[in-house]
């Protein structure tokens, strides 16, 4: 399967690394507006944690374009990975779908819900797979949490607390986006959306959302503290996160949950284990490497195309529900 990566920042490099590990895929091109800088970007600090390493030799034979339309015409890829700035998701995904390529677009899907609806309808009319990179759904620890909730192995879930924090991003284009205040959707749509999306996937869309937000350098909602409640359930969810801290503040994410029979804790400080506690004992559930989620989601996207199946674990419709929920938090 011929595949193209559009946007060679943190996520573009991450997806490129995982594409090169997948024997079903042939990376035929990279598209970046600063195409001449693609090799040098491998030496930059492009993100707030490591997801794999590439060298210039790994992409030495990969063609590089500065224009997606030109690349589509020349390479005719089966699929495109869209990992550009949020404001370009709609434009680039539409161009790729119109060409007839399957599309994986990074989160957040589209800040404008109507644009997301248009892309979903277009993908359906073209009979193409459209998937959004809500990677937390594919991270082993979060997969295990869903399993514990669904199986009721620890009893009914009663309280769930999700958190995700980083310093204000300054790598890549983020510095200049501070001048374009609000264009990225800020921490709410770019960071906290991970936990909003995951929680609506495993617990359902809440009936009531009570929110406090604070402004930062990127938007008016760069800190979010929210409580979710459900009419016919005793479950309460707390979601907290943001990027209002200084840039070198270390990334951290995790969750805590109280079930009727036990409580659990997962922290980025110990990403390989979930801690399970009762009133009398403590045990660990090994969950492996959280960064495996990036490979898992790519492989799932590819398998869905090969099998001609709807990507039920992460449909574009469900990802758009997360955007709608984010708007409820504004």
pLDDT of residue 57: 85
User: Could you write out the DSSP letters of every residue in 209-224?
Assistant: EEEEEE--SS-S-SEE
In angstroms, the first-to-last Cα distance of the chain is 40
Tens of pLDDT, residues 45-102: 555 555 567 888 889 899 999 999 999 999 999 999 999 999 999 999 999 999 999 9
pLDDT of residue 106: 97
DSSP state of 315: B
77 phi and psi, to 5 degrees? -70, 150
Domains of the chain with bracketed CATH = 2-133+294-314 (3.40.50.720), 140-289 (3.30.360.10)
Smallest CA-to-CA distance from 84 within 6, 13, 14 is with 6
Residue ranges of the chain with per-residue pLDDT less than 70: 43-52, 172-180, 182
């Amino acid at each position: 399967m011929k595949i193209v990566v559009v946007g060679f920042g943190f996520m573009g490099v991450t997806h490129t690394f995982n594409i090169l590990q997948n024997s079903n895929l042939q990376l035929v091109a990279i598209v970046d507006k600063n195409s001449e800088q693609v090799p040098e970007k491998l030496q930059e600090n492009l993100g707030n944690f490591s997801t794999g390493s590439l060298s210039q030799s790994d992409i030495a034979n990969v063609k590089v374009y500065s224009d997606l339309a030109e690349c589509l015409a020349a390479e005719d890829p089966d699929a495109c990975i869209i990992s550009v700035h949020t404001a370009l998701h709609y434009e680039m995904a539409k161009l790729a779908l119109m060409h007839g390529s399957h599309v994986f677009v990074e989160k957040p899907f589209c800040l404008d819900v109507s644009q997301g609806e248009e892309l979903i309808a277009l993908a359906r009319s073209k009979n193409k797979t459209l998937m959004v990179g809500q990677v937390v759904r594919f991270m082993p620890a979060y997969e295990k949490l869903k399993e514990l909730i669904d199986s009721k192995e620890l009893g009914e879930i009663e309280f769930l607390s999700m958190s995700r924090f980083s310093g204000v991003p300054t790598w890549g284009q983020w510095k200049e986006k501070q001048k374009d205040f609000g264009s990225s959707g800020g921490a709410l749509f770019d960071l906290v959306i991970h936990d909003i999306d995951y929680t609506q996937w495993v617990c359902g869309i809440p009936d009531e959302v009570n929110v406090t937000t604070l402004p930062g350098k990127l938007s008016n909602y760069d800190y979010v503290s929210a409580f979710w409640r459900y009419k016919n359930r005793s479950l309460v969810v707390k979601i907290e996160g943001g990027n209002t801290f200084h840039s070198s503040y270390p990334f951290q994410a995790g969750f805590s949950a109280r079930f009727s029979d036990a409580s659990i804790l997962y922290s980025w400080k110990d990403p390989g284990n979930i801690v399970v506690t009762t009133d009398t004992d403590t045990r660990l559930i090994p969950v492996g490497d959280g960064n495996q989620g990036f490979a898992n989601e790519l492989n799932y996207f590819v398998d869905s195309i090969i099998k001609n199946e709807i990507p039920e674990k992460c449909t574009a419709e469900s990802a758009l529900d997360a955007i709608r929920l984010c708007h409820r938090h504004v």
